[in-house]
């Protein structure tokens, strides 16, 4: 037997032995119901079922399309990394838009009634904190597009979060009575995004800083709206929307977000 082949076999044996000894994360995903205002909402909860220790909770707020597979995949990713992730249902009954007109109508209805939206978020946060897998004293929120605007407003409203992270979020301010927020706010935006008004983004960042938040806005050159969504190019073509996936911006912003979560929730 040649030395190279022998070395390869020994290497494989070592890898196999290590695999037998170390168990990776077992991500469990399930429907997670919570109720407010007489209506039931069907979120998606993901956690590592093989982990016996309670872990920090992360709320995920979907794009304007609704609670679809994209946001559920993000929840699974976070669960594999040691968080308990709840992708919330902002529209009720797990409703998902099939056309941009519907998505715009659904998301506009939510943002035009912030007190009701806040009640849904508070119900989701309360239910998440009570889950046995969650370390209830730590929580963050992450949002995408419409959801990014939601989490920025959550921070502006002074909701009990250690971090609020927005990816290509709409910076429309709907909170009329801002409250102090001493957590981290990270806003990851595409520099070539025509759907995010730069002045509105600056205004949102300034309002958050004024109320005590640690705010950082990161612009990614060449990135358009929905730059983290691999389906963005197909959606842009189908509906003639100014969207575009950007793998480099996606990877860089995701890594930055994970570092923020670690800083806010684990240290």
pLDDT in tens, 149-169: 999 999 999 999 999 999 999
Which pLDDT belongs to residue 7? 43
Determine the pLDDT at residue 18: 40
Residue 195 near residue 235, CB atoms below 8 Å: no
Q: How many CB atoms lie within 10 A of CB 51?
A: 14
Residue-wise pLDDT tens digits, 50-64:
998 999 999 999 999
| Strand bridging mode 55-61 / 84-87 | parallel
Task: Mean pLDDT check: name the lowest of 9-13, 65-69, 80-84.
Answer: 9-13
In DSSP terms, 134 is beta-bridged to: 55
Instruction: Work out the pLDDT band at 67, boundaries 50, 70, 90.
Output: very high
The answer to whether 75 touches 85, Cβ cutoff 8 Å, is yes
Q: What phi-psi label fits residue 163: left (phi over 0), alpha (psi between -120 and 50 degrees) or beta?
A: beta
Question: Is the pTM higher than 0.75?
Answer: yes
pLDDT interval class at 21 (50, 70, 90)? low
Spell out a b/e string for 63-101, using b for 16 or more CB atoms within 10 Å of the CB, else e. Answer: bbbbbbebbbebbbebbbbbbbbbbbbbbbebebbeeee
17-29 mean pLDDT = 67
């Amino acid at each position: 037997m040649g030395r190279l082949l022998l070395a390869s076999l020994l290497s494989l044996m070592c890898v196999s032995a290590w695999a037998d000894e170390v168990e990776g994360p077992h991500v469990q995903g399930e429907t997670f119901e919570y109720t407010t205002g007489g209506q039931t909402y069907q979120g998606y909860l993901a956690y590592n079922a093989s982990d016996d220790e309670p872990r920090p909770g992360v709320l995920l707020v979907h794009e304007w399309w609704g609670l679809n597979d994209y946001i559920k995949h993000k929840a699974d990713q976070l669960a594999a990394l040691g968080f308990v992730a709840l992708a919330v249902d902002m529209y009720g009954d797990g409703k998902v838009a099939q056309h941009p007109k519907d998505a715009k109508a659904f998301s506009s209805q939510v943002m035009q009634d912030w007190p009701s939206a806040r009640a849904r978020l508070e119900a989701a946060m309360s239910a998440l904190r009570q889950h046995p897998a969650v370390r209830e004293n730590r929580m963050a929120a992450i949002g995408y597009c419409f959801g990014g605007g939601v989490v920025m407003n959550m921070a502006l409203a002074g909701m009990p979060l250690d971090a609020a992270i927005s990816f290509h979020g709409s910076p429309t301010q709907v909170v009329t009575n801002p409250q102090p927020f001493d957590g981290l706010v990270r806003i990851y935006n595409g520099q070539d995004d025509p759907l995010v008004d730069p002045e509105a983004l600056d205004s949102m960042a300034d309002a958050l800083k004024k109320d005590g938040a640690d705010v950082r806005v990161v612009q990614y050159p060449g990135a358009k709206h929905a730059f983290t969504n691999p389906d963005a190019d197909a959606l842009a073509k189908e509906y003639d929307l100014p969207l575009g996936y950007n793998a480099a911006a996606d990877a860089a912003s995701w890594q930055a977000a994970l570092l923020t979560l670690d800083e806010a929730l684990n240290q």
